[in-house]
Amino acid sequence: MNVALLAPIATSHYSRQLLKSLSLEPGISICTVIVRSPFSINRFRAEYRRDGVRLLRKIREKLLLSEQPSTEPTSIPGLKELCLEHKIPYLVVSDHNHPRAEQLLKKLQPDLILFTGGGLIRKVILNIPSIGVLNCHSGILPAYRGMDVVEWALLEGLSNHIGLTLHMMDSGIDSGPILLTRHVPLQYQEKLPELRKRMEEMLPNLMLEAVRGLSEGKLTARTQTITHGKQYFVMHPRLKSKIKI
Amino acid sequence: MRRLLAFTLSLFERWLDDTIDPAKLRSFMKKNIDLIPAQSVQLLLSIDTILIESGFEFLKSDVQFSSALSCCKSNPSCLIEKMEALLRHVEVRRKTCFKATGMASSQLWCMRHRAAIMLCSYCRQVKDLRFLNTSLKLNDWAYPRYRSGSHHKDLPLYITALQEQETAIQELLS
């Protein structure tokens, strides 16, 4: 199976771990890795409009205060290094919908695109792979679509609705057919950052499980009933302060 | 160097942060509480027409806004649809929500406050905190307009929106 990987940033732990696991997987060939450049005015403008000050916090935490790939205990190399090692075409673009990304994907014709974050994907890209574009959403679908869904589930007192859902992407927000669901039960005295970290660590394995399942033809997607859930947006700090964990 | 950059960014974050903390809100409300009465009731009545004139797609209707909502009473799914559309509009357009060319600034702010009030009362009705969330954001974005103390004729309506917000928080989250 021919697979392409879309990464939000070259240092993304999720993308690096997934790429490393995929490179060892028999029967899977990685045709390209497309990464968003961290510095783009258009991207900053669009994200600032959506996230406001939260974006600056994200930049501070992920770009400035996060540990660099080489200093991490797992020592997974950066995406570029992994691509060089395995001779995988590596492309940096300002946006995943950039014409250069589109051209490359059209040329390589992957069976599957694995999306590990980085904004919205336009229909033209979604239509390229023969199987589809896979995304792992940090919430239980169809109940919790959109942003901050872990926080929303906790605020609404539905801690049994915390988990991950692997789904095919479509033009809506987290509304595509579901492949796998993993509930993540809240542990005793666990705080939100710990829970988030635990969920993040589960992402590569779930994605890998789906790739295996699809390549062996053992996995089928089931359509979501949109009316069985709601779309959530970024949670206001006042509501966040009311979360009881 | 990275630590220094991170520290500078955190200062910048604090400067740009437009969320109203509860203490700030309390003192603001206390200062302006006498503005609430009759004026805001009158404004509330006139805003329905303004909302329709704005051409906001959710309200592209030739009927009065209030009657559009009241006709939804017999058809709950219609009301849900309209409120979801309002929620999405504000969340997606954020600070540019309801903006239509040629509209006076005061009209625009009145419309936003009316929407915030409506979102709060709907949230209390259906106990869906997403609507309170959007209302909180609308009120935060409006705060810089009034904090300097300059009196705008839409201030009573803003105070009403803040009151509604606090009532909803009290009722649903305490």
Residue A124 and residue A122: Cα distance in Å, rounded?
Answer: 5
Query: Long-range pairs for A181-187 at CB < 8 Å and ≥24 separation?
Result: A181/A140, A181/A141, A182/A206, A183/A140, A185/A159, A185/A160, A186/A159, A186/A162, A186/A245
> How far are the Cα atoms of A145, A235, B95, B130 from residue A238, in angstroms, in the given order?
21, 8, 19, 12
What confidence score (pLDDT) does residue B59 get? Answer: 40
Given pLDDT bands bounded at 50, 70 and 90, which one contains residue B6?
A: confident
Given pLDDT bands bounded at 50, 70 and 90, which one contains residue A32?
A: very high
Could you tell me if B47 and B111 are in contact, meaning their C-beta atoms sit under 8 angstroms apart?
A: yes
Q: Do B6 and A57 touch (CB under 8 A)?
A: no
Mean of all residue pLDDT scores within chain A: 89
B6: nearest CB among A64, A156, A234: A64
Contacts of B91 (CB under 8 A, 6+ apart): A233, A234, B134, B137
Question: Which residues in A lie closer than 8 A to residue B16 (C-beta atoms)?
Answer: 52-53, 56
Given pLDDT bands bounded at 50, 70 and 90, which one contains residue B75?
A: low
Residue B6 and residue A239: Cα distance in Å, rounded?
Answer: 26
Of residues B31 and A160, the one with the higher pLDDT is A160
Count of positions (residues) in chain A = 245
Of residues A103 and B62, the one with the higher pLDDT is A103
Q: Do A239 and B173 touch (CB under 8 A)?
A: yes
B10 touches chain A (CB under 8 A): yes
Model-level pTM? 0.82
Q: How far apart are the first and last CA of chain B?
A: 43
For A47-64, what is each residue's pLDDT tens digit? 777 677 777 777 777 666
Chain A residues with CB under 8 Å of a chain B CB are 49-50, 52-53, 56-57, 59-60, 64-65, 152, 155-156, 230-239, 242
Tokens matching residue B130: 């997403």
Q: Please give the distance of CA A2 from its chain centroid, rounded to a whole number.
A: 19
What confidence score (pLDDT) does residue B62 get? Answer: 33
What confidence score (pLDDT) does residue A129 get? Answer: 97
Question: Is the pLDDT reported for residue A119 higher than 60?
Answer: yes
B residues 81-100 lying closer than 8 A (beta carbon) to A: 87-88, 91, 94
Q: Do A239 and B140 touch (CB under 8 A)?
A: no
Residue whose C-alpha is closest to residue B119's, from B73, B169, B77: B169
B151 touches chain A (CB under 8 A): no
